[in-house]
Chains A and B, each alone.
Chain A
Amino acid sequence: MSSDLPFYLIAALTVGFAIAAMSLRRLVHCALCAAAAFAGLAMAYLQLDAEFVGFAQLLVYVGAIAILIVFAVLLTRGDEVRPDHHQTSPTPMAGIAVAALVLAGIAIPIFTSPSLRRVAPPTAIVPVKKIGEVLMTRYVLPLEMVGVVLTGALLGAVVVAMSEDAEVKLTVRRKPAGHAELKGEMSLP
């Protein structure tokens, strides 16, 4: 039982931070609690002998996505000072009830299934070299596709979040100055 203590500690902390991330009032606090919950999940991966995934989780979620969320929170302030500002939907209890139903629907089969009570077999630690080899042989096509998707997402995010002034400037640079259609295009946004 004592060897299970790290797992229960990690699980309790992660669930606590996740609850805080979803229920606190200030969005910045929510973002920081979400980052802590992501870090707790990385700890769980490390405990499951998936070192590479654990560190990838730390790099991507705690390093990149949490910063992205904080930036989005800071760039979209202004809601919080409004007098008619509400944190939740008009019927929060209905949403929580549906979530509890979903949770029960997952948890009851887990508790009743005898095959899930198994204890882990002694696994050999997978070296990172093996992961690299598999990525370059068997999973090379998905790897290339992920590269394409990430490039597309990067360009898409830049285009979507680009301010309309910058868009106008880009259009102006593309067309020669003094063009007849230029005025109509500039006043479009």
Chain B
Amino acid sequence: MNTPLSHYLVFSALLFGIGFAGAVVRRSAILVLVGIELMLNAANLNFIAFWHYGPHPEALTGVMFVLFSIAIAAAEAAVGLALVIAIYRQRKSAQVDCMDTLKG
């Protein structure tokens, strides 16, 4: 396998850009959360790529960081989707522009 490191980084940057565009553009709160998950995953891919191409892969730092990051992402998704469901119950809508109670 002789793929250069930069190709993995470009792959990850593409995923980050797609997730960012989705999180900014879409109005459904669930898809905003999916976009954020895609951005988190792009960062994880960078960690794994740098760990694999780095000088000390036996130190396992990249792998450990990604494992903890996956756990935190799972918690974030659970709480975020629970919030979406709670807001839907009150507003009868899960669109982000319905959530304007705090707007001045």
Docked Cα-Cα span, A49 to B58, in Å, equals 12
Q: Which residues of A contact B5 (CB under 8 A)?
A: 116-120
A120-B64 in contact (CB<8A): no
Which A residues, 149 to 185, have Cβ-Cβ distances below 8 Å to chain B? 149-150, 152-154, 156-158, 160-161, 163-164
Contacts A34-B37, A53-B63, A139-B64; A120 near B1 (Cβ below 8 A): yes
Cβ of A113 < 8 Å from any Cβ of B? yes
Contact with A along B25-42 (1 / 0, CB 8 A): 111101101110110010
Is the Cβ of B95 less than 8 Å from the Cβ of A56? no
Majority-rule SS of B interface residues: helix
Task: Closest B residue to A75 by CB, please name it.
Answer: B85
Q: Given the complex of chains A and B, what is the CA–CA distance between A13 and B19 in angstroms?
A: 15
Interface size of A in residues (CB-CB distance below 8 Å): 86
Contact (Cβ within 8 A) B82 A160: yes
Per-residue CB proximity of B70-90 to A under 8 Å, as 1/0? 111111111101111110110
* Interface size range of chain B in the complex: 35 or more
Interface residues of A (CB under 8 A from B): 3-4, 7, 11, 14-15, 18-19, 21-23, 27, 30-31, 34, 37-38, 41, 44-45, 47-50, 52-53, 56-57, 60-61, 64-65, 68-69, 71-73, 75-76, 78-79, 86-89, 92, 95-96, 98-100, 102-103, 106-107, 110-111, 113, 116-121, 123-124, 126, 130-131, 134-135, 139, 142, 146, 149-150, 152-154, 156-158, 160-161, 163-164
Residues of B whose CB lies within 8 Å of any CB of A are: 1-11, 13-22, 24-28, 30-31, 33-35, 37-38, 41, 44-45, 48-49, 51-53, 55, 57-58, 60, 62-64, 66-68, 70-79, 81-86, 88-89, 92-95, 97
